[in-house]
């Protein structure tokens, strides 16, 4: 059984992951209606990924003898000035999620809940990758500038985007 404050913190993270899924879904809708099919597909995939992050937390909380709670969510923004602004918001959101995961890890260490601490290491590594991906996308957008041809290629190529972060590298000799 999880300690009450850890259960509460994990349930808070469940909500954050759920809202993240909704944010990406809203971004996908915006991109789709603005003719950015590649960006839309990328965002739909990200939305699905965030939902899986949420479900992984739900299962963990329930398996540990506690109760995962599904709460109401804050409605995401539905309009974005430009696709660059949308990706800047995405990057800021990923930084927010990373901070939330780090706070959760801190709580588990303070409570000496090493099982939950170990479980959360996957999320720590995942957030390193999410931040690296968002930063790479922003770097590419900045390279494009106002070039419409570049935007067309970016929209097409984002579907195949893969980013190798430091945690993805195989460190075995």
DSSP classification of residue 66: S
Q: pLDDT value at position 160?
A: 75
Local confidence band at 145 (pLDDT 50, 70, 90 cut-offs): confident
3-state secondary structure of 127: helix
CATH superfamily of 4-160: Ferritin, core subunit, four-helix bundle (1.20.1260.10)
- Across the range 145-153, mean pLDDT stands at 83
Q: Report the first-to-last Cα separation within the chain, whole angstroms.
A: 40
65: alpha, beta or left? (left if phi > 0; alpha if psi -120 to 50): left
pTM of whole model > 0.85? yes
Residue ranges of domains in the chain: 4-160
pLDDT, tens digit (0-9, with 9 covering 90-100), for 74-129: 999 999 999 899 999 999 999 999 999 999 999 999 999 999 999 999 999 999 99
Local confidence band at 59 (pLDDT 50, 70, 90 cut-offs): very high
Rg (alpha carbons) of the chain, rounded to whole number: 18
């Amino acid at each position: 059984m999880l300690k009450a404050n850890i259960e509460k913190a994990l349930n808070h993270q469940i909500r954050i992951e759920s809202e993240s899924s909704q944010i990406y879904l809203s971004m996908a809708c915006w991109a789709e209606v603005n003719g950015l099919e590649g960006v839309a597909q990328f965002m739909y995939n990200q939305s699905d990924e965030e939902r899986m992050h949420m479900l992984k937390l739900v299962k963990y909380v329930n398996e540990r003898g506690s109760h995962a709670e599904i709460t109401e969510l804050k409605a995401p923004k539905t309009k974005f000035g430009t696709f660059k602004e949308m990706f800047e918001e995405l990057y800021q959101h990923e930084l927010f999620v990373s901070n939330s995961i780090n706070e959760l890890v801190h709580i588990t260490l303070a409570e000496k809940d090493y099982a939950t601490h170990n479980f959360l290491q996957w999320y720590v590594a995942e957030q390193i990758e999410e931040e690296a991906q968002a930063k790479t996308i922003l770097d590419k957008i900045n390279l494009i500038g106002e070039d419409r041809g570049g935007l067309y290629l970016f929209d097409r190529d984002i579907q195949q985007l893969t980013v190798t972060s430091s945690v993805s590298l195989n460190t075995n000799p």
